Amino acid sequence: MEQIQLSMQNVSVFYGPRPVIDDVSLDIKPGSTTVVLGSSGSGKSMLLKTLAGLVPPNRGTVMLNGKNIFALSEKEELEFRRRSSFVFQDAALWANRTVAQNVRFPLEVHYPVMSHQQKQQKVERYLEKVGYQDSIDYRPSQLSSGEEKMVSFARALITDPDLLFLDTPLVGIDSTAAGYIEEIIKKLRSDGKTIIAGLTDPELISLIADELVIVHKGAVLIHGPFSEVRRSENPLIQKILSLILDQAAAYDEDILSILDDNGGLL
Amino acid sequence: MGTAVLDSFDELLYSAGFFYRSVVASLQYFRRRQVGRGVITMQLLFTGVEAVTVIALISISLGAVIIIQGVNILPQFGQGVLIYKILITVITRELGPILCAFVVIARSATAIATELGHMVVSHQIEAYISTGVNPIRYLVAPRFIGVTISVVLLNLYFNVFGLVGSYILTQLFQPIPFSEYFHNLLLYLRTTDIISSLLKSVIFGLIISHTATYNGLRVQQSSTEVPQMVIRAVVQGFTLCIVADALITMVYYI
């Protein structure tokens, strides 16, 4: 099967006069994990959505295997959507569908001949895989934000995609759910899937990132292998890296500063 | 000033493009493999069936008022037979289609614009696109078809209740012989009255479904935009239906 080659050339997206994405060019390496880093409001989500062909750019082009992603034939687009999935920051579950219906829907779109029973079994298996333990007949409004995230993850994985867009998948979920999702992300990476993720978890970034993209005010400051980007001497890049990647260390220092030598509170 | 005019022109073009794509998607709806055919059934149920009680009450009351007033006033001028002409003009040709449109705007256009607006804000539309579902085909086309068929059906109910139901009601106060009433009614009812009424319903249905879906999907980021777009859907729906009504009536008399 043809590998998915994704790139963007001189892409800009505007909200009114202000660019949210500013003249960005990127090449995504198939089979790699690309982590997009940046502070809140830097344009990470918009970058992922534009790359995924969900938001059309005002300028520039997003290319999928050499073709403009917004000018694909219906068949090509359906094939791309079958082979890719998007996990949204706010889960974006369909409010008028139950948990089971949400997870089953991509199968109904891409595998219409699969029997209802097979689909149902697959839904239950994937929900179990992401650690969801509540009723599958609940509506999204009855779930906690962590559970919504788990369900959205199951929905994204159920078609076994080759390309995954993950928009801050660990935000707003408890450590148990995060554990399940971290394991899945590591497994997807070891299976050679292409992952493009906006992440904020320093430990996970260090474990999975092959490539880093640092975004600041909608522009890409640097894109390259993780080790190279970490060695950059650009002060702004160093500042962003230290803010995100050194969070854990800073947190540990904060904790230590309020403990006495014996580990008790000062 | 110039920018505002250009923006309005841009929006008009965008709206026309959206209307064209919605109509094409609606025409292709039954030919294509579709997921979730239930959307159209639910739309017909909500718009075309659940509104029957309101339509029946309005049309029976309106018909009864026309009959009672007409039977008491018109014979004084020797024009008793005009009651049938007035009934057909008011119930079939004029107020039937426009009142049905108003009821559908108040009940369904608001609901559609609100639902779609909230779906945009919570990124559910983007989730459909990422799954490979075209929102115009999946969300707009069934509402277009459902609302348009519903307005036509409601207009039909309006005529039945307004012409037959009101007759039955007025028998309690002002008995008119059954054969005389229906014979005269059919005598004055012309094919052009029926065509005009049907044409208005179809056009009002298209206007309502377009203004509701277009404004619902125009919401961009914030939930505070939802009520603003719902108001726009209602105002545009009312205005365009009245303007279209006036144009069709003018054409009728040319």
**Does this complex have an ipTM over 0.90?**
no
For residue A245, what pLDDT is reported?
A: 73
Q: Provide the CATH number for the domain around residue A154.
A: 3.40.50.300
d(CA A69, CA B253) in angstroms, rounded, equals: 52
CB contact under 8 A, A86 and B126: yes
* Percent helix, percent strand, percent coil in chain B, to nearest 5: 85, 0, 15
For residue A261, what pLDDT is reported?
A: 47
The H or E element spanning position A222 is strand A219-225
Q: How many domains does chain A have?
A: 1
In a domain, A150, yes or no: yes
d(CA B51, CA B110) in angstroms, rounded, equals: 14
d(CA B48, CA A135) in angstroms, rounded, equals: 34
Average pLDDT (B162-175) is 82
User: Minimal CA–CA distance to B101: which of B249, B251, B245?
Assistant: B245
Nearest to A49 among B36, B124, B126 (CB): B126
Least Cα separation, residue B124 to chain A (angstroms): 5
b/e per residue, A51-80, with b = 16+ CB within 10 A?
bbbbbebeebebebeeeebeebeeeebbeb
Contacts of A53 in chain B (CB under 8 A): 129
d(CA A196, CA A51) in angstroms, rounded, equals: 9
Contacts of B124 in chain A (CB under 8 A): 92-95
Q: In chain B, what are the domain boundaries?
A: 2-253
Q: How many CB atoms lie within 10 A of CB A232?
A: 16
What is the pTM (predicted TM-score) of this model?
Answer: 0.87
Contacts of B122 in chain A (CB under 8 A): 90, 92, 95
Nearest chain B residue to A53 by CA: give it: B130
CB contact under 8 A, B130 and A81: yes
CB contact under 8 A, B126 and A54: yes
Q: Say if residues A10 and A23 touch (Cβ distance below 8 Å).
A: yes
For residue B205, what pLDDT is reported?
A: 97
Q: Report, as ranges of residue numbers, the positions in chain A whose pLDDT lies below 70.
A: 1, 246-266
Average pLDDT (B224-246) is 96
Q: How many Cβ pairs closer than 8 A exist between chain A and B?
A: 53
CB contact under 8 A, B35 and A82: no
Instruction: Give, in degrees to the nearest 5, the angle at Cα B175 between B174 and B179.
Output: 140
The H or E element spanning position A145 is helix A145-157
For residue A237, what pLDDT is reported?
A: 86
For residue A257, what pLDDT is reported?
A: 45
Nearest to A109 among B119, B122, B132 (CB): B132
pLDDT digits (tens, 9 = 90+) for B172-205: 877 888 888 888 888 889 999 999 999 999 999 9
Question: Beta strands A219-225 and A84-87: pairing type?
Answer: unpaired
Average pLDDT (B143-157) is 95
Nearest chain B residue to A161 by CA: give it: B131
Q: Say if residues B174 and B65 touch (Cβ distance below 8 Å).
A: no
pLDDT digits (tens, 9 = 90+) for B24-65: 999 998 887 666 678 888 889 898 899 999 999 999 999 889
Task: Extract the tokens encoding B31.
Answer: 């030919």
In a domain, A265, yes or no: no
Contacts of B132 in chain A (CB under 8 A): 77-78, 80-82, 106, 109-110
For residue B82, what pLDDT is reported?
A: 87
In a domain, A1, yes or no: no
- Report the mean per-residue pLDDT for chain B: 91
Q: Can you spell out the DSSP letters for B196-209? A: HHHHHHHHHHHHHH
Nearest chain A residue to B133 by CA: give it: A109
Q: Which domain holds residue A60?
A: 6-257
